[in-house]
Structure 1
Amino acid sequence: MSSKNDSLIDEDIDYQTVSTGHSISIERPERLHEWLKAEDIEYIRHKFFSHPLQKLNVKELREVLDNLSIQFTDIEYNRLYLKINQNRDFLCDWNEFISYLIFGFQEDDPSTQKEALILPISTAPVVKKSEHRSPICSISLLRAQVDEVDEEDISKQLNGALEDSPEACGMWITASREGQIRFWSNTLEPLRTGVSTSIHLKMATWILQVQALSDVSIVCTSSTERELRFHETVASTFTLRIVIRSLPFAVCSMSYSFHPKGKTNSKLVLGDYGGNVRILEFTPFLRGPFQSKPGAALVELFWTDVLKGKLPLMSVREYPNIHSELIQHVYYSIRMNSLFVAAEYRNAKKYRARCPGLIIASGEDKTYFRIPMGVSCFSVSEKNNIVVTGGPDTFVRVWDVYISSKPSGILTGHNGGVVYIFVQAEEKKIYSVDYHKIIKIWHMTEYTLLQTFGDLVRILSSETDLCYMYHPLSRDLLVGGRKLISIKCCARIRVDLTDGNTHAAPVSVVLYNGLFRNVVTCGFGSYIIVWGPWAGR
């Protein structure tokens, strides 16, 4: 039993530890788990259970630690004992002691460290009227000069909020079937409009896709008239410059790849309804085939003329019948020098579930990724050498681009076909959108579900045929239908307001815990941060 003197010492321990009157020197933290070995823990356990009370008071526990050559100053040991003795009876039992060690081990174990409780999509979507007469059928992004960088270098170039300089993050381009083209700022403020129509047909056009050629300031549209129309957007204009007519099939999918510094040729990839892929390749130097020439306001030619080389500075490469179904998604990776082509194969009996849903073509070599019912969409993370696919079978698959036999991971949870996918390599997150407008966010390496976002069902309750486009710089997902919806996905830290480790909004409350020597701060941004000021954490 504790003596009267021990009780007096115990009272001194309590007041001396939480007192702020003494000067604080640099002391080592009370992290017993870093210094104790397995045999030391067994020795301490024996001391606990050999005691008549199976409990140790302040002096007895200190003697045990001294025998193991673990020395503390009076202040350090007093604070340690108070942390172990949770019920404050100044008699420490084995359960309290081992619990303190377990908490220390868990704190240092990387597998038990949870991510921040901030959801990837934590802000309300921004909803705007589309101002189109019919629903939006295609969205593209006319990138600005600052946006023409690799994704891994983006964070190094951001010094402030993108909203503070909308001219630095490019423009959204939306198109509707009747040929109306609208330009929007990154904050969805309307900038200007244009019209893409056929110069020969008297009937109304039907737009299928729109694609921005950012490095040459051109917007390309494809239509059911089997035409490609290239519009110039220099100096707030929207002027038709080149028309390519009579393509073998109407183009239903487009993608554009260019080098940020113009070191390689730019490539416009075209996928059509016949399962063919064609690549228009040109040099971006002096805007290539789109450079202004006096006396030539409009260049009009047939596709056969393009194949014969009658369009200067532009060459064509064809992949005929690369798929037996219409092309759903195309992408050319300049870093990998490879073409990615996806198609759906909904007739499972015809193809016996062995559908080459995704094909990677590198030169004459082709790699087939066989996926039941094919692929509707995919996203390539060139930095991590992975490709993420989604299709009508509702599964999201993560593949190594060099291993086509088996996916690295399969993500299940969607109740409808996956229609859009994008990857945030910096945050190690995968975003997938299904036909029912449900957005799911997954961890890229652990293959776990992080969040399910269903606000689009409420906002666009009666629409299903939507189009999507992700802005990797501002991290906005733009959804187009009869409305325009912008969703912030894992928003970047405002480095002009915070260094990333503190509050981005005014601090409302500051509290200090004298026992654990922690500072707790609360801010108007609804974030609570616990600081370890003496350890610099």
Structure 2
Amino acid sequence: MSCQKAALELNTGSQPWPMSPERTEDVTAFEDYGTGLLENQLSMCDFVKIQKAFESPEPRKIICMSREDFIQKMTEIVGWGTKEEYGELFDKVDVAQDGFINWDKLTSFILLELYEQDERAKATVVPQWKDLEFLPVKHKDNIQKVIFLKSSSHYLTISKEGLLAIWGENLKLQETFPITSDATKLKHLWVTSLVSLENVNKIAVAFTSKEICFYDLLSKEEFACQYKLQGLKGTPICMDYWYDPLDASESILSFGDITGKVQAIAFTAALISLFERPASACEDGEATMTINWAELLSGCHKCCHILEHKLHQGDWVRQVTYNASLDAIISSTTSNTNSVVLAWREKSKKHLNMTSFNIAQGIHAFDYHSRLNLIATAGINNKVCLWNPYVVSKPVGVLWGHSASVIAVQFFVERKQLFSFSKDK
């Protein structure tokens, strides 16, 4: 029986429970109960005695004890522990400082303590990793991205040569499709990134031909190309997509390229259409619509607008993401200057203000924890740094331990943990 369950049964007073051996003055017996706070050393037998002290011979009458009464009775009834310890326990239970406690207050405190101990224990548990399992794949080149589609519970993987694979939730390969544009049929032109536009049932694929193609997951044809964005000045190598869960029409596609430029398309009517279809366009809904980047910059498409900056100054942008709680686009490079850039959206939502962190040797990746308001960076210098987004001068914490460069970091909010991955063997 767990301590938490035992305490709950004590609170109800309806079930018997196994009795613990009586405490003795023997040192060995005392060590069996552990050391520390008094409430952590009380046994089942001790709780039974304490409960009886709070029981009244009259039905429905609640027994309350003052601090002095509690200290005196507990030292007599339990038979161990000092008056100071019982005084400290009383003060912890009497948080409202009423000057008295009853059985309900005591058990509520004990249950809360057990819950917090359980949470702390869970947070410190080291995962027991299973042996690596290699999945049979049909990809013939580097896998550029793996994403999970929540709507269908499928995984998508895409490789450099443009082969898209669909996996079931059980990680069984289901289908493969060649994803190419006209340009990528040429030799030496590859896929660089993939992102899911979950709210509109589309995926976006970036190519070294300086274009981004949008494929409809619900089209009659398998992964029909609906939009083709061309004319980008640099090859996009990383992408991120966010949409407002309260208003799915509002969304942002951000991407970084090999020239150090970070760009974003802010959609305002995504559920209707990502881009405006010209009146002269073919009425066939399955036909591919080609959009030139210059059109978006000029504001021809009223359902979206462009945000961009060049603060990375020629360094390849390795990661980019838009964070709604900060209302900022975060990006990173492997340079030691402007390693991480936060591009804050102004009230007009159409202009950016930039701040940046300089990190020795640069970083491979980052992650943001909105509750803690911390950015964790995966350093090439083997360190994981923790940053307050509003303090750019130095990190608020540095984590050591890796003997090789850190390649990824990830906050696990539920477990209250930060995972870091490096090139260590």
TM-score normalized by structure 1?
0.55
Cα deviation per residue 1:47-79 (whole Å; 9 max; x = unaligned)? Answer: xxxxxxxxxxxxxxxxxx99x833678xx55xx
Question: Which of 162, 165, 176 is the equivalent residue of 1:179?
Answer: 162
The 5-angstrom pairing of residues 23-422 of structure 1 reads 27-28=49-50, 69-70=72-73, 76-77=77-78, 80=79, 115-116=121-122, 118-144=125-151, 167=152, 170-200=153-183, 202-204=185-187, 205-234=189-218, 237-262=222-247, 265-289=250-274, 294-296=283-285, 297-311=287-301, 313-345=303-335, 355-363=337-345, 364-422=352-410
CA gap 1:178/1:26 in 2 versus in 1, 3 angstroms: same
Superposed displacement of residue 30, structure 1? 11
Instruction: Check conservation: 1:249, 1:273, Cα contact below 8 A.
Output: yes
How far apart, in 2, do the equivalents of 1:389 and 1:339 lie? 15
CA gap 1:114/1:305 in 2 versus in 1, 3 angstroms: closer
Instruction: Check conservation: 2:379, 2:385, Cα contact below 8 A.
Output: no
Q: AA paired with 1:410? A: V
Cα deviation per residue 1:71-110 (whole Å; 9 max; x = unaligned)? Answer: 678xx55xx4xxx6xxxxxxxxxxxx78xx79x99x9798
How far apart, in 2, do the equivalents of 1:369 and 1:290 lie? 35
How far apart, in 1, do the equivalents of 2:47 and 2:360 lie? 66
Instruction: Check conservation: 2:258, 2:314, Cα contact below 8 A.
Output: no
Residue 432 of structure 1 pairs with residue 420 of structure 2: yes
Deviates more, 1:285-294 or 1:272-281: 285-294
Instruction: Check conservation: 2:199, 2:271, Cα contact below 8 A.
Output: no
How far apart, in 1, do the equivalents of 2:74 and 2:418 lie? 49
Instruction: Check conservation: 1:249, 1:272, Cα contact below 8 A.
Output: yes
How far apart, in 2, do the equivalents of 1:390 and 1:316 lie? 29
Superposed displacement of residue 127, structure 1? 3.6
How far apart, in 1, do the equivalents of 2:360 and 2:20 lie? 66
CA gap 1:121/1:315 in 2 versus in 1, 3 angstroms: farther
Cα deviation per residue 1:480-537 (whole Å; 9 max; x = unaligned)? Answer: xxxxxxxxxxxxxxxxxxxxxxxxxxxxxxxxxxxxxxxxxxxxxxxxxxxxxxxxxx
Root mean square deviation, CA, Å: 3.9
How far apart, in 2, do the equivalents of 1:194 and 1:324 lie? 34
Superposed displacement of residue 112, structure 1? 12
Deviates more, 1:397-406 or 1:187-196: 187-196
Q: AA paired with 1:115? A: A
CA gap 1:25/1:423 in 2 versus in 1, 3 angstroms: closer
How far apart, in 2, do the equivalents of 1:127 and 1:368 lie? 39
The 5-angstrom pairing of residues 450-489 of structure 1 reads none
SS in 1 for 2:271: helix
How far apart, in 2, do the equivalents of 1:407 and 1:172 lie? 36
Superposed displacement of residue 416, structure 1? 1.6
How far apart, in 2, do the equivalents of 1:137 and 1:120 lie? 27
Cα deviation per residue 1:3-32 (whole Å; 9 max; x = unaligned)? Answer: xxxxxxxxxxxxx9969xxxx99531799x
CA gap 1:262/1:17 in 2 versus in 1, 3 angstroms: closer
Superposed displacement of residue 192, structure 1? 2.9
Superposed displacement of residue 285, structure 1? 4.5
How far apart, in 2, do the equivalents of 1:306 and 1:266 lie? 16
Q: AA paired with 1:243? A: K
Instruction: Check conservation: 1:139, 1:173, Cα contact below 8 A.
Output: yes
Instruction: Check conservation: 2:193, 2:239, Cα contact below 8 A.
Output: yes
The 5-angstrom pairing of residues 476-515 of structure 1 reads none
Superposed displacement of residue 111, structure 1? 9.7
Superposed displacement of residue 302, structure 1? 2.6
Instruction: Check conservation: 1:216, 1:290, Cα contact below 8 A.
Output: no
Superposed displacement of residue 389, structure 1? 0.8
Aligned-pair identity in percent equals 20
2:41 match: none
Superposed displacement of residue 174, structure 1? 0.8
How far apart, in 2, do the equivalents of 1:172 and 1:303 lie? 30
How far apart, in 1, do the equivalents of 2:231 and 2:149 lie? 27
How far apart, in 1, do the equivalents of 2:396 and 2:302 lie? 44
Cα deviation per residue 1:103-135 (whole Å; 9 max; x = unaligned)? Answer: x99x97989996247423455555422331223
Superposed displacement of residue 201, structure 1? 5.6
Superposed displacement of residue 388, structure 1? 0.7
CA gap 1:228/1:290 in 2 versus in 1, 3 angstroms: same
1:479 match: none
Instruction: Check conservation: 2:276, 2:303, Cα contact below 8 A.
Output: no
How far apart, in 1, do the equivalents of 2:288 and 2:405 lie? 42
CA gap 1:70/1:372 in 2 versus in 1, 3 angstroms: same
SS in 2 for 1:129: coil
TM-score normalized by structure 2?
0.68
